[in-house]
DNA sequence: TTCAAATACTACTTCTTAGTGGTAATTAAA
DNA sequence: TTTAATTACCACTAAGAAGTAGTATTTGAA
C-alpha cells in the first residue's frame, strides 16, 4: 500500500497553497518551492482546477488559489488522485461483507475505517493547525 | 492509496494455500482457482519461495506449501510486494516527526498506526478464524 | 496595441508494473 | 530409464504512471 507520487505531490501543493492563501501561487513558484517537475505540476493543477478544488486565474500575474468557501479533505485529494482509498475488500472480492467475509476482512476493518474516518475529518485548512 | 495488483494476488494466494494446507498447491491449480494469470503467478511464487515465505517442491507432483512453523503477517506480505505500508510521513518528508510535523502528520497518525499494528497482528493462519 | 508572463492543451518519451512466451531443470511414477 | 508434470529462469511485450516538449491562449500592465 503506497501513496502514488501524484498523490504526494498533490498533498504538498495544497498544503503549500494553504500556508500562502493570502496570495496567488504560480506554477513556477510551486514547482521551485516544492521541487516538483514544472510540467508535471501544471498537469496536476489543471486537474485540480477542472475538479473545482482550486481556482485558476489565467494570463500574466495569474496563478492558483484555494477557494475560500470550499472544504477539501485529505480523502478528497486521495480520491481524486488514486481512487477510493478505503475499498470495502482488500482483495477486491465483490461478495465480501459482514455476512460473507473474505479471509482478511476483519483485519482490514480497523485500518480501513480509520483511513476513511480520519481522512474525511481532515480538512486541509485545519488539519495542520494545533488545537488551542 | 492503493494495494497493487501484485499485493492483492499475493494475499489471495496465501489465503488459499492456508485453506488447503493439508496438500500441495500447484501453480496451475492456484492460477485456475484464483483466476490469476499463470505466468505472472509463477513469478510471484518464486519470489515468495526465495524470501522463504513458502516452500516449493520441484518436479512432477511438486507444488507449493506454507511452512508450518512460519508466521506470516499481512504486514509481511505488503512489505514484500509493495514496500513499507506505514511510512512515517505521508508526503515523504525526511524531517517529519513529533517535534517538527508536516502539515498532515496528525491526520496520518491514527490510520498509519492502525495499519502497522493491526497488520502486524494479523497472522495469515489465524486472521480469518473466528474467535471461539 | 504590444508584450511578457502566466495557464491550457496536445503529443510525445521514459520508467515501472503487469503480463506473456519459450525453454531448462527437476522429480517421482511407470 | 523414460516420461510427463512440475518449478525455475530469461527475455520479451503491453499498459499505465511519471515526466518532457512545444505551442496556443489568456490577460494585465506599460
Kindly state whether residue A129 falls inside one of the protein's structural domains: no
Kindly state whether residue B36 falls inside one of the protein's structural domains: yes
- CB neighbour list of residue A118: distance below 8 Å, 6 or more residues apart: B107, B110, B111
**CATH number of the domain to which A15 belongs:** 1.10.10.10
Answer yes or no: are the C-beta atoms of A54 and A45 closer than 8 Å.
Answer: yes
Kindly state whether residue B37 falls inside one of the protein's structural domains: yes
Chain B residue closest in CA terms to A121: B107
Kindly state whether residue B19 falls inside one of the protein's structural domains: yes
Kindly state whether residue B43 falls inside one of the protein's structural domains: yes
Nearest to A74 among B101, B104, B119 (CB): B104
- CB neighbour list of residue A38: distance below 8 Å, 6 or more residues apart: A27, A28, A31
Quote the cell numbers at residue B7: 499485493
Distance from the first to the final alpha carbon of chain A: 34
Kindly state whether residue A79 falls inside one of the protein's structural domains: no
Question: Within an 8 Å CB–CB cutoff, is residue B42 touching chain A?
Answer: no
Share above pLDDT 70 across residues of chain A, in percent, rounded to a whole number: 97
Average pLDDT, chain A: 93
Q: From CA A60, how far away is CA A66, in angstroms rounded?
A: 19
Query: Mean pLDDT, to the nearest integer, of B55-67?
Result: 97
Chain B residue closest in CA terms to A17: B103
Interatomic separation, CA of residue B37 and C1' of nucleotide D16, rounded (Å): 18
pLDDT digits (tens, 9 = 90+) for A37-48: 999 999 999 999
Answer yes or no: are the C-beta atoms of B116 and B75 closer than 8 Å.
Answer: yes
Domain that holds residue B57: 5-66
| Angle, alpha carbons A129-B92-A9 (nearest 5°) | 80
Q: What pLDDT, on a 0 to 100 scale, did the predictor assign at position A130?
A: 59
Q: From CA B85, how far away is CA B89, in angstroms rounded?
A: 11
Q: What pLDDT, on a 0 to 100 scale, did the predictor assign at position B109?
A: 95
Q: What pLDDT, on a 0 to 100 scale, did the predictor assign at position B110?
A: 95
Residue with the three cell numbers 481532515: A122
DSSP B21: T
Closest residue to C22 (CA, C1′): B39
Instruction: Grade residue A86 by pLDDT with cuts at 50, 70 and 90.
Output: confident
- Nearest Cα of chain A lies from the Cα of B59 at a distance, in angstroms, of 30
Nearest to B118 among A7, A83, A110 (CB): A110
Average pLDDT, chain B: 93
Q: What pLDDT, on a 0 to 100 scale, did the predictor assign at position B131?
A: 53
Q: How many CA atoms lie within 13 A of B76 on its CB side?
A: 15
Answer yes or no: are the C-beta atoms of A36 and A12 closer than 8 Å.
Answer: yes
Kindly state whether residue B22 falls inside one of the protein's structural domains: yes
Q: From CA B14, how far away is CA B96, in angstroms rounded?
A: 35
Q: What pLDDT, on a 0 to 100 scale, did the predictor assign at position B132?
A: 43
Q: What pLDDT, on a 0 to 100 scale, did the predictor assign at position B6?
A: 97
Instruction: Grade residue B87 by pLDDT with cuts at 50, 70 and 90.
Output: confident
Total residue count of chain B as it appears in this document: 132
- Cβ-defined contact of B104 to A91 (cutoff 8 Å): no
Using the predicted structure, report yes or no on whether residue B116 has a pLDDT greater than 90: yes
Kindly state whether residue A116 falls inside one of the protein's structural domains: no
Q: Which of A36, A38, A29, A72 is nearest to A52 (CA)?
A: A72
| Angle, alpha carbons A113-A93-B10 (nearest 5°) | 90
Using the predicted structure, report yes or no on whether residue A80 has a pLDDT greater than 60: yes
Answer yes or no: are the C-beta atoms of A67 and A55 closer than 8 Å.
Answer: yes
How many independent structural domains does chain B possess? Answer: 1
Q: What pLDDT, on a 0 to 100 scale, did the predictor assign at position A132?
A: 42
Strands B54-57 and A63-66, bridge-based pairing = unpaired
Nearest to B92 among A8, A15, A106 (CB): A8
Report how far apart, in Å, the C-alpha atoms of B40 and of each of A10, A64, A90, B11, B37 are.
32, 44, 20, 14, 5
Amino acid at each position: 500500500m503506497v501513496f502514488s507520487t501524484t498523490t504526494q505531490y498533490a498533498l504538498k501543493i495544497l498544503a503549500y497553497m494553504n500556508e500562502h492563501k493570502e496570495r496567488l501561487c504560480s506554477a513556477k513558484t510551486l514547482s521551485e518551492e516544492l521541487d516538483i517537475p514544472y510540467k508535471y505540476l501544471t498537469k496536476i493543477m489543471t486537474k485540480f482546477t477542472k475538479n473545482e478544488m482550486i481556482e485558476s486565474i489565467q494570463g500574466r500575474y495569474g496563478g492558483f488559489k484555494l477557494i475560500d468557501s470550499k472544504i477539501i479533505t485529505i480523502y478528497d485529494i486521495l480520491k481524486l488522485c488514486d481512487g477510493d482509498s478505503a475499498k470495502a475488500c482488500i482483495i477486491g472480492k465483490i461478495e465480501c461483507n459482514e455476512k460473507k467475509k473474505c479471509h482478511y476482512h476483519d483485519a482490514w476493518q480497523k485500518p480501513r475505517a480509520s483511513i476513511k474516518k480520519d481522512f474525511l475529518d481532515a480538512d486541509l485548512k485545519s488539519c495542520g493547525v494545533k488545537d488551542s
